[in-house]
Structure 1
């Protein structure tokens, strides 16, 4: 049975990802204002009433800035680790908050959401996969290095939001101070285009129908550069570059069709 996915926004100015079936959905991160999310849902023809929960990867502002307002307005439960919650500095009164733990699936209706730890400079960062029957989607951004957990889950996904944050040459030649460059590429920052491509080439399952390159840097990357790097290696996988300025279309991900 299919899942439907969209990146509502992807970048250091805000991150929010939609994954759902025909009846229910979850959001991964809420780094946009409530009004921005409502507008993008309307443009996509989606209803926020189908969203049943929000899952938070980590406490950086581009992942949580709209969380309180959205969760409170729509009475959405928030799933977040205790350490991340302690570092959020958000007001979540009157919001149902539940802890999650790595490698312990959470069932939201017919959706199964599984978190696993990742390398990033945050208190307790996690990535997620979302399963619905025979279809699996991964949300893999803000990753310093491709660990064994990431490789394991990526190799099982029918679609993935995959970070391709920076181009090595652009970062080297760019205006960022040395310490910030080292943070980005130091193993607890972000994946480069080349690291993302290596993961894709070595561990992409033959049934992966879509890869959405995500969290591209405004200063150290450009969509055309990332796209051109991946194009020769796609085989039958559709490539999408998620925008930092708006939502992607809704993509239908169907594990049953992928196996035909």
Structure 2
């Protein structure tokens, strides 16, 4: 069965990723307003009624700022770990709360969502693999280093949202204070372009049809720069750079 994916927004100003089949879908994070999410879904022709749940990767505002309004309006169950929930300021009873645990799949219709821990400076951060009858899509952003679990899941993906947050030289020479540069590149911050490319080159499966480069820094990266870095290594994989300001097209993943 095919999966349909789109980045509704990707960056420090808000993150929200759509993955679904023809009947049901989930959002990974809700860091844009309810109105923005509704508008972008409508432009893409994706019915909001198909969204059955929201999964939260961690508590930083660019991943949850629109959650209360969106989940409250549509009464969407929100899957979030207890540790992450404790570190938010969410109004806890305006939408259903569902805890999840690492490595324990959650079934949403035909979708199976599996979370696994990642290195990031948050209470209990997780990445996600969304599967549907043999088709796998990964959402891998806000990652300090590519750990063994990330490598394992990435190597099974037909498509992946993969963080390429910063260019190392741009970050080093940029205007950020030293402590912030160290946070970004210190192992619990974000993946650089080169770290992401190394992961892609070493562990991309031959059947990966799409890679969506995600969470680009406004100040420390450039879409054309990262595109040029990846282009020689794509083979048959289609490259998309997810925007900080608008949705990507919908991509169909899987042959059946």
Give the TM-score of the pair, scaled to structure 2. Answer: 0.99
Runs of 4+ in structure 1 off by over 4 angstroms are none
Is the Cα–Cα contact under 8 Å of residues 8 and 17 in structure 2 kept in the other structure?
yes
Query: Counterparts of 1:201-220 in structure 2 under 5 Å?
Result: 201-220=201-220
Q: Please give the secondary structure, in 2, of the residue aligned with 1:88.
A: coil
Partner of 2:241: 241
Q: Please give the secondary structure, in 1, of the residue aligned with 2:87.
A: helix
Partner of 2:179: 179
Per-residue deviation, residues 15-56 of structure 1 (Å, max 9, x unmatched): 000000001000000000000000001110111100000000
Partner of 1:230: 230
RMSD of the alignment, in Å? 0.6
How many Å separate the matches in 2 of 1:90 and 1:101? Answer: 20
Query: Counterparts of 1:98-117 in structure 2 under 5 Å?
Result: 98-117=98-117
Q: Report how many residues are paired.
A: 256
How many Å separate the matches in 1 of 2:76 and 2:47? Answer: 14
Shift of 1:94: 2.9
How many Å separate the matches in 2 of 1:94 and 1:59? Answer: 17
Per-residue deviation, residues 111-141 of structure 1 (Å, max 9, x unmatched): 0000000000000000000000010000000
How many Å separate the matches in 2 of 1:199 and 1:82? Answer: 30
How many Å separate the matches in 2 of 1:92 and 1:64? Answer: 13
Q: Unpaired segments of 5 or more residues in structure 1? A: none
How many Å separate the matches in 1 of 2:32 and 2:104? Answer: 27
Partner of 1:82: 82
Given the alignment of the two structures, is residue 141 of structure 1 paired with residue 138 of structure 2, yes or no?
A: no
Query: Counterparts of 1:1-260 in structure 2 under 5 Å?
Result: 1-254=1-254, 256=255
How many Å separate the matches in 2 of 1:120 and 1:130? Answer: 20
How many Å separate the matches in 2 of 1:167 and 1:72? Answer: 38
Shift of 1:93: 1.4
How many Å separate the matches in 2 of 1:134 and 1:83? Answer: 31
How many Å separate the matches in 2 of 1:94 and 1:242? Answer: 31
How many Å separate the matches in 1 of 2:75 and 2:205? Answer: 37
Q: Please give the secondary structure, in 1, of the residue aligned with 2:213.
A: strand
How many Å separate the matches in 2 of 1:81 and 1:92? Answer: 13
